[in-house]
Amino acid sequence: MPSSGNLRAILAMTAACAMFACMDALLKVLAASYPPVQVTALRGLTAMPLVCLYLLWRGQVGAVFRRDLRWSLHLLRGVVIVLMLALFTCGLKTLGLAEAYTLSFIAPMVITVLSVPLLKEAVPPRRWVAIVVGLAGVVIALRPDESAFLSVGALAVLAAALCYALSNVLGRIISRTEPSATLLFWTTGAMALGGSAMAALQWVPVPAAHAPLLVGLAITGFLGQLAIIEAFRHGQASAVAPFEYTALAWAVLLDWLVWRAVPDLHTLLGGAIIVASGIYLIRREAPPLAPAER
- Whether residue 161 contacts residue 110, with contact meaning beta carbons closer than 8 Å, is answered with yes
Q: Give every CB contact of residue 220 below 8 A, 6+ residues apart in sequence.
A: 19, 20, 22, 23, 26
Question: What is the predicted pLDDT for the residue at 37?
Answer: 97
Q: Report the SS3 class of residue 282.
A: helix
Question: What is the predicted pLDDT for the residue at 1?
Answer: 42
- Measured CA to CA, the distance from residue 162 to residue 104 in angstroms comes to 8
- Measured CA to CA, the distance from residue 78 to residue 203 in angstroms comes to 20
- Measured CA to CA, the distance from residue 10 to residue 21 in angstroms comes to 16
Give pLDDT tens digits for 197-232. Answer: 999 999 999 999 999 999 999 999 999 988 887 887
Q: What are phi and psi of 188, to 5 degrees?
A: -65, -40
CA distances (Å), 77 to each of 54, 121, 200, in order?
A: 22, 20, 21
Nearest-5° Cα angle at 75, 14 to 102: 35
Question: What is the predicted pLDDT for the residue at 110?
Answer: 82
- Measured CA to CA, the distance from residue 160 to residue 170 in angstroms comes to 15
- Measured CA to CA, the distance from residue 292 to residue 180 in angstroms comes to 10
Question: What is the predicted pLDDT for the residue at 283?
Answer: 67
| H or E stretch covering 216 | helix 211-234
In this prediction, the residues of the chain whose per-residue pLDDT falls under 50 are 1-2, 285-288
Question: What is the predicted pLDDT for the residue at 294?
Answer: 63
- Measured CA to CA, the distance from residue 257 to residue 98 in angstroms comes to 12
The rounded radius of gyration (Å) of the Cα atoms in the chain is 18
Question: What is the predicted pLDDT for the residue at 3?
Answer: 57
CA distances (Å), 236 to each of 165, 257, 265, 278, 290, in order?
A: 20, 33, 33, 16, 11
Question: What is the predicted pLDDT for the residue at 160?
Answer: 95
